[in-house]
Chain A
Amino acid sequence: MTELAPILAWAVPGLPLAAAVALQATRTPSQADRLNLVTAVATATLALALSAIVLARGGSAPLRGDLYLLDGATGVFVGLIAVIGLCSALLSPAYLRTAGRAWFSAGRSRHWYYAALYGFWGVLLAVPIASNLGLAWLLIEATSATSALLIAFTGARHALEAGWKYLVLTTLGLSVSLLGIVVLAAGLSGEGHEGLGALDWHALEQSASGLPAQATLVAFVLILAGLATKIGWAPVHNWLPDAHSEAPAPISALLSGALLPTVALVAWRVKATLDSAVGGGTAGALFIAFGLVSLVVAIPFLWRSLPWKRLLAYSSLEHMGVIALGIGFGTPLAIAGVVIHVTAHGLAKALGFYAALPLLRSDPHAARQAPQDVLATSRPTAVAMGVSLMALGGLPPFPLFVSELLILLGGISAGETAVASVAALALALGFLGLLHALLEGVIGSPAHRHRTRHRSERPLSALTAAVGAGLLALTVAGLLLPSSAFVETLARGTL
């Protein structure tokens, strides 16, 4: 099966990108919906096949080509993006049926939505496959344009504000990142490494120790600071709550569950390749600083009565902080935690955003105020929101409990006991904030319950069951992963 991997590495991003063009040629909304269904299933099948092939290799050396790198992290991220992309694509027709006004004319809005969705999904799938820092940057920049259009899809004033802020801030951030890449390229050129191949992850890792320390440190800081704006790490996270709350729910799921951690993967790879040049734990310290600041900034917002999608957005800030801590600690325990955390956060967060579809349909005011007594009006929506909140809060037996524990233990084993203690306190406070939202907003008062069940909520119930089962499977994986060769290879950072 390994011989199929290079073909799949091209087909996985290629198919959705081709579909983005083909969807423009469909004549009716139902034709577009049918092509969406077929393409989504085909893309996810190919991506999951690639993920399975790569993950089945365990801790073996990565498969490398001129433009692709298939290592364990590729397997995890491609699988995650495939699952969230599939769910988002399949739920999009339900969103579009009730979306109301759109930026584009009524006749073409669905075509543009799908074109942007598949453009975004295809480019996002290519990021973990890219073998090269320069290519990864180009792909991340390309996600800005496609996803900004999706964020502002309704064309309403708030959506335009969120989309514009996202486009401008992330583009500026990525300009800073490119400045860092140019500085790095200059250093490599001085050592006789030129052209695109010099920025190949593997080549970069090999040549890093010979690079000038000071210039490489500047390059690393610029690259990381720029990527941080796209990951949504505090203090450069201003676009994140607005974009997540104003985007269509299926897009919010992709942004939070897939885009943010995928850009974090690129930051992780930059750390893995340049660690020896930057030296002395400096790279790890920067990740830890971003992680702690993100956690501390997010917590007060998790305690406030916020609209559902804004609450989930601040939860993303918290969890990106946890991932930054895990990468910064860098021990095998912490890396095992990061792998589980990325996957479980993606699934739980996506479920939370999907639950916003029926929530906002039955109560449009929930877009601007905290939900109230959801259980009283819809049990499936309340269950989905509850599962999402309990998982995101890190309640056992959900896998985020295991992953956070692994990351904290990884921090202690790295000698960062004080950081781990502060992080543990912040996570406990975050848990209490989400528990408050669960009790007050989702469960509410028993006196108000008069349940109704709509046919349209059956898919959400099925999705909740599937995600719940997936999360429990991840808990088991989280218990087995720390001692595996897979994690040892990832922690060594061999690319």
Chain B
Amino acid sequence: MSSALITAVLVVGMGVIVVRRRSVAVALVAAQSLLLGIGSLTLASERSDEFLVASIVLLTKAIVLPLLLLVLMHRTREPRLVAAAAPALVRLACAGAVALAGAALVPPLGLGDAQAEGSAVALVLVGIAVVGARRPAFFQLLGLLVAENGVSLLAVSVPGGLSYVIELGALLDLALVVTVAAAFTQRIHLELGTGDTELLRGLRD
């Protein structure tokens, strides 16, 4: 994958930790999946079976799952803005620091593409940071997708690619987890009147 495409995938992922509107965050995750899909299709263009798998993954992650998330968004309207755990710039700075540290500390992974390796690790860490720094369940769900896209970035860069069974199985698992997480988000909203997970802190010892 080209250096510009990898940078774009990382920057779009960082955007999810900053933006306020859920629709913009969904658009960012869809755009990130689209960029990854384009990169994957470019690499697989000479082999029809790999092209087919990459197309299925692209269709699901860039179109089907974002559509599901938009439906979820409309079903779980927030009565008021959920207060942020920290200001946007602080979140961005923390996520950036974690991503840079992760990318710098991980030794060469053997793919021969240092930028893809560092960016993939950084993106997984950004996904984890989104889950930790964003209070709404909806954004935490998007954090899972950003982390998964980090893994996809690395998988795309593996010479010869991953097995189709694993790629399609992981996609099926992702769709299952997103569907269940969406059901949870809706139920949490129904129970609490908001998707703010800060209110789900009753279990302590």
Interface of A with B (CB < 8 Å)?
103, 134-135, 137-138, 141-142, 144-145, 148-149, 152, 155-158, 160-165, 167-168, 171-172, 175-176, 178-179, 181-183, 185-187, 189-190, 194-196, 198-199, 212, 214-215, 218-219, 241-242, 245-246, 301, 304, 306, 310
Contact = CB atoms under 8 A, between A and B. Distances in A.
Contacts, number: 148
A172 B200 CA distance: 19
Nearest to B188: A160
Contact of B162 (A135, A161, A182, A187): A182
A164 B110 contact: no
A164 B109 contact: no
Contact of A157 (B110, B120, B158, B200): B200
Interface residues of B, number: 52
A168 B109 contact: no
B36 interface: no
A190 B203 contact: no
Contacts of A160: 184, 187-188, 191, 200
A183 B165 contact: no
A49 B139 CA distance: 46
A181 B108 CA distance: 15
A165 B200 CA distance: 9
A212 B109 CA distance: 9
B127 interface: yes
Given A142-B173, A168-B181, A194-B160, 8 more contacts: A135-B166, A164-B184, A168-B144, A172-B147, A183-B110, A187-B110, A196-B165, A196-B166
Given A152-B187, A161-B202, A175 B180 contact: no
Given A160-B200, A172-B127, A141 B173 contact: yes
Nearest to B183: A149
A182 B127 contact: no
Given A161-B202, A175-B127, A242-B203, A141 B148 contact: no
A219 B166 CA distance: 17
B144 A144 contact: no
A230 to B, nearest CB: 13
23 contacts: A134-B163, A135-B165, A138-B166, A141-B170, A142-B173, A145-B179, A164-B184, A164-B200, A167-B177, A171-B177, A175-B144, A175-B148, A175-B151, A178-B170, A179-B154, A182-B158, A183-B110, A185-B163, A186-B109, A190-B159, A194-B163, A214-B110, A310-B205
8 closest A-B pairs by CB: A215-B110, A196-B163, A161-B200, A138-B169, A141-B173, A134-B166, A145-B180, A145-B176
A179 B110 contact: no
B197 interface: yes
Nearest to A177: B151
B150 interface: yes
A33 B177 CA distance: 28
B201 interface: yes
Given A145-B177, A189-B160, A301 B205 contact: yes
A190 B113 CA distance: 13
B177 A144 contact: yes
B104 to A, nearest CB: 14
A168 B162 CA distance: 25
B191 A171 contact: no
Given A182-B155, A186-B109, A103 B187 contact: yes
B56 interface: no
A198 B162 CA distance: 10
Interface in B127-169: 127-128, 131, 137, 140, 143-144, 147-148, 150-151, 154-155, 157-160, 162-166, 169
A167 B184 contact: yes
Contacts of A185: 155, 158, 162-163
Contacts of A161: 200-203
Nearest to B163: A196
Contacts of A241: 203, 205
Contacts of A194: 160, 163
Contacts of B137: 164
Nearest to B164: A196
Contacts of B140: 168
Interface in B52-74: none
Nearest to B149: A175
B147 A175 contact: yes
B144 A212 contact: no
Contacts of B124: 175-176, 179
Contacts of A198: 163
B154 A182 contact: yes
Contacts of B111: 186
A215 B108 contact: yes
